[in-house]
Every structure is written in structure tokens, then in C-alpha cells.
């Protein structure tokens, strides 16, 4: 769940041609939900390095996707659910 939800959040950002630019676990927050079984969408924070890219910026999006995948794989290896 953790890996999928965070990945979808970044996919949505990248669909709008936005690169966050500062991918770190501390920049992903999970809002409180009234019921622990409710699924929540992770929120990205700290967009001071974010940029909007054109078609020529696709390599920036791909690089950020790879970084997100690497960080999520690393977090998954430390025993987080995924």
C-alpha cells in the first residue's frame, strides 16, 4: 500500500509535467483519517525546488521517477509494508 500510494501520488504530479525536485521521505505526509481502515492519499510538501517541464524535460521526470522507486524499494527493504 505505502509503495503504491506514494508512487501514484508522484505519477499524478508527473502527469502535469511537474518535477518535485527534492524527493525525500520527510516530504511525504499522510493525513489523519477518522477511521484507521480508510485509505488516505499521501500528500507531497515542500515544493520550493519544483519545476514545470516541457516535452524536452521528460528526462527530469524519468530521473525523479527512478529516485522515487529507489527510495520506496529501500524503505520496503527495511520492513515497511508495500
Give the residue among 15, 28, 26, 25 at the shortest CA–CA distance from 61: 15
Whether the model clears a pTM of 0.85, i.e. scores above it, the answer is no
CB atoms within 10 A of CB 49: 11
Domain locations along the chain = 2-77
**How far is residue 22's CA from residue 78's CA, in Å, rounded to a whole number?**
22
Please say whether the beta carbons of 41 and 10 come within 8 A. Answer: no
Q: 24-28, 53-57, 75-79: which has the highest mean pLDDT?
A: 24-28
Residue 62 grid cell = 524519468
Select 2-77's CATH number: 3.40.50.180, 3.90.400.10, 3.40.190.10, 1.10.510.10. Answer: 1.10.510.10
Which residue would you say has higher pLDDT here, 42 or 81? 42
Amino acid at each position: 500500500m505505502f509503495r503504491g500510494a506514494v508512487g501514484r501520488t508522484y505519477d499524478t504530479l508527473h502527469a502535469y509535467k511537474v518535477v518535485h525536485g527534492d524527493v525525500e521521505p520527510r516530504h511525504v505526509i499522510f493525513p489523519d483519517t477518522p477511521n484507521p481502515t480508510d485509505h488516505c492519499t499521501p500528500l507531497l510538501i515542500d515544493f520550493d525546488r519544483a519545476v514545470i517541464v516541457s516535452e524536452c524535460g521528460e528526462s527530469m521526470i524519468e530521473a525523479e521517477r527512478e529516485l522515487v522507486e529507489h527510495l520506496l524499494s529501500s524503505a520496503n527493504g527495511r520492513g515497511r509494508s508495500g
